[in-house]
Amino acid sequence: MGRTHLIFSAFIVQILRSVTMTTKHGLITDSFKVVKKAKRGARKAKRPLSPPPTQESGAATLQEEELRTLRHFDLDWRFGPCTGISRLHRWQRAELHGLDPPEEIRELLQTHTDPEYSLSLWRDYPL
């Protein structure tokens, strides 16, 4: 046991010497070239400008806004549950119970027949 202890102690001494020797030689960053990053303002100036909006993007924006309004209607618990029924049926049921659903929702649902408009946010989930 004495010999093993002696070998282990010698090993520890070697490790400590190597650690103290490396700290005398300098930092690890002394071995690598320093790369400075460009400032954010300069990088943004190099980006090309986006093209001006066209009529199609305006129509897509209108559709996105309408669908966002309908999703908010789906998530508004004041008008009752919306699973298993169409948005128009939910609106009519809320009107029947005197919950005053927004008239804008009914108008949207009557002008668009696309399932994306008529079916609720939860249409893909079974009852």
Beta bridge partners of 119: 86
| Confidence band of 69 (pLDDT split at 50, 70, 90) | very high
Q: Is the pLDDT of residue 16 over 60?
A: yes
Q: Is residue 16 domain-resident? A: no
Q: Is residue 30 domain-resident? A: no
Q: Is residue 109 domain-resident? A: yes
pTM: 0.53
Q: Which residue has the tokens 């909006």?
A: 53
Q: Is residue 77 domain-resident? A: yes
CB 91, CB 101: distance < 8 Å: yes
Q: What angle do CA 86, 87, 89 make, to 5 degrees?
A: 65
Q: Is residue 85 domain-resident? A: yes
> 46 to each of 10, 37, 39, 50, 111, how far by Cα in Å?
60, 15, 12, 12, 45
Neighbours of 70 (CB within 10 A): 22
Q: Is residue 9 domain-resident? A: no
Q: Is residue 12 domain-resident? A: no
Query: Rounded CA gap, 8 and 24, in Å?
Result: 25
Q: Is residue 83 domain-resident? A: yes
Enclosing domain of residue 83: 66-118
- In this prediction, residues 90-111 reach a mean pLDDT of 94
What is the total count of domains within the chain?
1
Residue 88 is given by DSSP the state H
Q: Is the pLDDT of residue 43 over 70?
A: no
